[in-house]
Amino acid sequence: MRRPRLLPLIVVGLAAAAGALPPPASAQTPAQTVGIGIVDVPANRSDDPRARQYIVDHITPGTTITRRVEVSNNTDQTQVVQLYPAAAAIKDGTFLFGDGRAVNDLTTWTTVEPPAVNPPAGGKTLATVTIAVPADASPGERYGVVWAQLPASTPQGGGVAAVNRVGIRVYLSVGPGAEPASDFVIESLTARRDTGGVPIVSARVRNTGGRALDMSGDLHLSHGPGGLNAGPFPARLGTTLGVGDTEPVEVSLSSEIPNGPWAATLMLRSGLLDRSASAEIGFPSAAGVSARAVKATLTAKRSRRLPIVALILIVAILSALLLVLLPRRRHHHATDG
């Protein structure tokens, strides 16, 4: 597996690059870009930022899902854009894409229609991604990408042809029943300085749930020397935790930050999950040196999606109220007549 090659005329719509969650259109030259984005977001995932950027779903074997995607062309001429699925995997905290049209289970279940589009200059074109999971598919999460690719170009005078493409990740969970719950824990915080002397806080994060996670968040420092507070400092984007994986999530700080000690509070999120943990840390004075890891204490655990138990209770209460109120309304109508 290798990271995607991002070249001019291509915008990484919806974070084809590992781990990042950028806005749906950015490019080196805004006037000369081709991008791809999701049009359809399932109603039950409308509040999940990952589902607005990736194809994220859980389905039972024998089920078919579809998603419309939009290919945009901000160049000054009509483009021929090929659309196709390819394999991906998660390794060492990175979402990795296979070479070319690499195949896995997910790609054999996925089709894109039409397989090529011709968005005009400044225009947009729709296509449909269909994923048909066979009835005998084994449970588990699969990863892939839907690529939008321009024809390969060979430099004048010969040489290696460059492939320009942009993609949308696919996270598909397959199995009976409800979707596996997502969760993670922040196990420890480590303060260190890189070889250039920049202070860095590295958090050891473990995926304890049943879905892959894309990490983002920020770090706050308080109760520092002289009562100083600092931050927030954003976590480096790009860390993807596979199911059961443990990887570092790093935050780079200003080189002006004193050594400490500091009360560090790290808030991390993935989709609808928020987790916050704290620890007392101090940075070493020398470049390239790491302090000992400090166990982090959970300070907040929140899911921005209403728990399924709460939803069941709400539905039960509303149903009970309707059963009480409707007979009364009928009785009043009968009395009025």
Tens of pLDDT, residue by residue over 212-230, are 999 999 999 999 999 999 9
Is the domain of 17 the same as that of 159?
Answer: yes
Task: Compare 330 and 16 and report the one with higher pLDDT.
Answer: 330
pLDDT value at 315 more than 60 = no
Is the domain of 144 the same as that of 20?
Answer: yes
Domain assignment present for residue 179? The answer is no
Domain end position, chosen among 174, 199, 230 = 174
pLDDT tier for residue 308 given thresholds of 50, 70 and 90? very low
pLDDT value at 31 more than 60 = no
Domain end position, chosen among 121, 139, 174 = 174
Mean pLDDT of 87-100: 95
Determine the 3-state secondary structure of 274 from DSSP: strand
Strand pairing partners for 7? none
pLDDT value at 130 more than 90 = yes
Residues near 335 by Cβ (< 8 Å), separated by ≥ 6?
none
Mean pLDDT of 313-322: 52
Domain assignment present for residue 199? The answer is yes
Is the domain of 39 the same as that of 143?
Answer: yes
How many other CB atoms are there within 10 angstroms of residue 213's CB atom?
Answer: 28
Q: How confident is the model at residue 306, as a pLDDT?
A: 42
Is the domain of 61 the same as that of 199?
Answer: no
Q: Per-residue pLDDT tens for 140-196?
A: 999 999 999 998 765 666 555 567 899 999 999 999 999 999 999 999 999 999 999
Domain assignment present for residue 248? The answer is yes
pLDDT value at 326 more than 90 = no
Determine the 3-state secondary structure of 90 from DSSP: strand
The tokens for 151 are 């024809």
pLDDT tier for residue 33 given thresholds of 50, 70 and 90? confident
- In which residue are the tokens 């005329």 written? 9
How many other CB atoms are there within 10 angstroms of residue 258's CB atom?
Answer: 15
Domain assignment present for residue 51? The answer is yes
Is the domain of 19 the same as that of 64?
Answer: yes
Is the domain of 231 the same as that of 262?
Answer: yes
How many other CB atoms are there within 10 angstroms of residue 251's CB atom?
Answer: 22
Domain end position, chosen among 155, 174, 193 = 174
Is the domain of 71 the same as that of 115?
Answer: yes
pLDDT value at 305 more than 90 = no
Domain assignment present for residue 63? The answer is yes
Number of domains in the chain: 3
pLDDT value at 20 more than 60 = no
The whole domain housing 332 covers: 307-337
pLDDT value at 22 more than 60 = no
Domain assignment present for residue 42? The answer is yes
Strand pairing partners for 163? none
Q: How confident is the model at residue 183, as a pLDDT?
A: 96
Distance CA 183, CA 116 (A): 38
Residues in the chain: 337
Q: Model-level pTM? A: 0.79
119 phi and psi angles, rounded to 5 deg: -65, 130
Is the domain of 96 the same as that of 227?
Answer: no
Residues near 272 by Cβ (< 8 Å), separated by ≥ 6?
47, 48, 182, 303, 304, 305
Beta carbons of 7 and 83 less than 8 angstroms apart: no
Amino acid at 279: A
Q: How confident is the model at residue 313, as a pLDDT?
A: 45
How far is C-alpha 276 from the chain's CA centre? 19
pLDDT tier for residue 328 given thresholds of 50, 70 and 90? low
- In which residue are the tokens 């269909």 written? 130
Amino acid at 46: S
Residue 298: CATH number of its domain: 2.60.40.10
Is the domain of 131 the same as that of 76?
Answer: yes
Distance CA 101, CA 10 (A): 18
Is the domain of 156 the same as that of 19?
Answer: yes
Least trusted range by pLDDT, from 41-50, 57-66, 138-147: 41-50
The tokens for 196 are 């250039």
Q: How confident is the model at residue 297, as a pLDDT?
A: 95
Is the domain of 18 the same as that of 123?
Answer: yes
How many other CB atoms are there within 10 angstroms of residue 276's CB atom?
Answer: 19
Residues near 306 by Cβ (< 8 Å), separated by ≥ 6?
none
Domain assignment present for residue 2? The answer is no
pLDDT value at 120 more than 50 = yes
Mean pLDDT of 74-79: 91
* Pairing mode, strands 33-38 and 55-59: unpaired
Task: Provide, rounded to the nearest whole percent, the portion of the chain with pLDDT above 70.
Answer: 77
Least trusted range by pLDDT, from 24-38, 72-86, 247-261: 24-38
Domain assignment present for residue 3? The answer is no
pLDDT tier for residue 28 given thresholds of 50, 70 and 90? very low
Is the domain of 51 the same as that of 132?
Answer: yes
Distance CA 218, CA 234 (A): 4
User: Burial of 280 by CB count in 10 Å (0-12 exposed, 13-18 middle, 19+ buried)?
Assistant: middle
Average pLDDT taken over every residue of the chain: 84
Distance CA 250, CA 265 (A): 13
